[in-house]
């Protein structure tokens, strides 16, 4: 009756491609949608043109130089009217895995977080915000990963450890632990991209060191901030550098070639984020 019905493939002018079942001109049933310009894919069930039921959504991530790398974020589970809703598992590119309940595209309810180091935590979320403490199930870390001390409740590994107590002192005491957990969770979720960025910028303008160890210099970090258009937020690199030094309690840097360890780099990014978005936080 002049309508798309049954099995078929549609190639859109944008280059996107849908292959699967149709009903009354809409994607309906089992099908695969590839968003070519975004590098994203959904495989699963559809209802009246939108994702509904069980499916898998894959985000293809990019390196900072534009080329793809193998790992990507991936969600497997239930969808409701185009949103992650119900029970599902999210595989982060950095190796972390969250399995639990979702509502309107956000983690909501009880779930389990498995860190890239192999440590497992029971979590409870409210609109993507952790509201319950993490009760750690003792899981031995994989070889090559140093165990944390019993008093260290951080979900990050030793080389990713954050010392943001100076920042947390600026917010009410009752919210500090929750806020620290939130920051750590975000860093954990993106640690692969953060490692790639650190590695990329630490190699800019450098010859190959004999020990094959690249450390990010202050000059390279400033280059990163400039590439991220930090100056468009009405702040200069000099102001940002001073703010990082004051908040982190660091000595004044007299050389642009002073190196930054990875944990110092992460702490600096958190401080920059606070400086830029503190009005929104309020």
Cα diameter, the chain: 76
Please tell me the distance from the alpha carbon of residue 17 to that of residue 126, in angstroms, as a whole number.
35
pLDDT for 185 equals 78
Select the more confidently predicted residue: 43 or 124. Answer: 43
Q: Which residues pair with 168 in a beta bridge?
A: none
Structural domains of the chain, count:
1
**Is residue 175 one of the residues assigned to a domain?**
no
Query: Which value, to the nearest 10 degrees, does the dihedral of the CA atoms of residues 75, 80, 82, 83 take?
Result: -50
- pLDDT tens string 184-221: 778 877 777 888 888 888 888 876 655 556 788 888 98
Q: What percent of the chain has pLDDT over 90?
A: 26
Select the more confidently predicted residue: 268 or 153. Answer: 268
Residue 263 CA from chain centroid, whole number: 16
**Is residue 48 one of the residues assigned to a domain?**
no
Rounded to 5 degrees, what angle do the CA atoms 108, 114, 119 make?
Answer: 135
pLDDT for 19 equals 97
Overall average pLDDT of the 86-114 stretch: 88
Domain that holds residue 268: 190-282
The helix/strand/coil state of 11 is strand
Q: Is the pTM for the entire model greater than 0.75?
A: no
**Is residue 232 one of the residues assigned to a domain?**
yes
Please tell me the distance from the alpha carbon of residue 14 to that of residue 11, in angstroms, as a whole number.
8
**Is residue 214 one of the residues assigned to a domain?**
yes
**Is residue 33 one of the residues assigned to a domain?**
no
Residues in the chain: 282
Please tell me the distance from the alpha carbon of residue 170 to that of residue 182, in angstroms, as a whole number.
16
Whether 47 has a pLDDT exceeding 80, the answer reads yes
- pLDDT tens string 140-164: 333 222 222 223 334 455 445 667 7
Please tell me the distance from the alpha carbon of residue 208 to that of residue 225, in angstroms, as a whole number.
24
**Is residue 281 one of the residues assigned to a domain?**
yes
**Is residue 199 one of the residues assigned to a domain?**
yes
Closest CA to 278 of 226, 242, 238, 243: 243
**Is residue 185 one of the residues assigned to a domain?**
no
């Amino acid at each position: 009756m002049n309508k798309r019905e049954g099995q078929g493939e549609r190639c859109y002018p944008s280059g996107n491609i849908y292959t699967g079942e149709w009903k009354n001109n809409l994607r309906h049933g089992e099908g695969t949608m590839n968003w070519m310009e975004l590098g994203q894919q959904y495989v699963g069930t559809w209802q009246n043109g939108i994702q509904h039921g069980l499916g898998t959504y894959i985000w293809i991530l990019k390196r900072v130089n534009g080329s793809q790398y193998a790992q990507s974020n991936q969600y497997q589970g239930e969808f409701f009217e185009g949103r992650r809703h119900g029970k599902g598992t999210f595989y982060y590119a950095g190796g972390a895995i969250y399995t639990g309940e979702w509502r309107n595209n956000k983690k909501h309810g009880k779930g389990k977080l498995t860190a890239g180091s192999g440590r497992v935590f029971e979590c409870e979320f409210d609109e993507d915000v952790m509201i319950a403490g993490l009760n750690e199930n003792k899981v031995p870390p994989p070889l090559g990963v140093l165990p944390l001390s019993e008093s260290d409740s951080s979900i990050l590994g030793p080389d990713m450890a954050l010392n943001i107590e100076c920042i947390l002192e600026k917010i009410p005491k009752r919210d500090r632990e929750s806020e620290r957990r939130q920051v750590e969770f975000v860093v954990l979720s993106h640690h692969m991209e953060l490692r790639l960025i650190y590695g990329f910028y630490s190699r800019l303008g450098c010859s190959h060191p004999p020990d094959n160890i690249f450390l990010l210099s202050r000059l390279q970090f400033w280059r990163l901030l400039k590439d991220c258009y930090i100056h468009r937020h009405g702040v200069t690199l000099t102001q940002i550098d001073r703010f990082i030094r004051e908040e982190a309690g660091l000595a004044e840097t007299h050389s642009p070639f002073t190196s930054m360890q990875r944990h110092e780099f992460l702490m600096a990014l958190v401080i920059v984020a606070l400086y830029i978005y503190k009005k929104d936080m309020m």
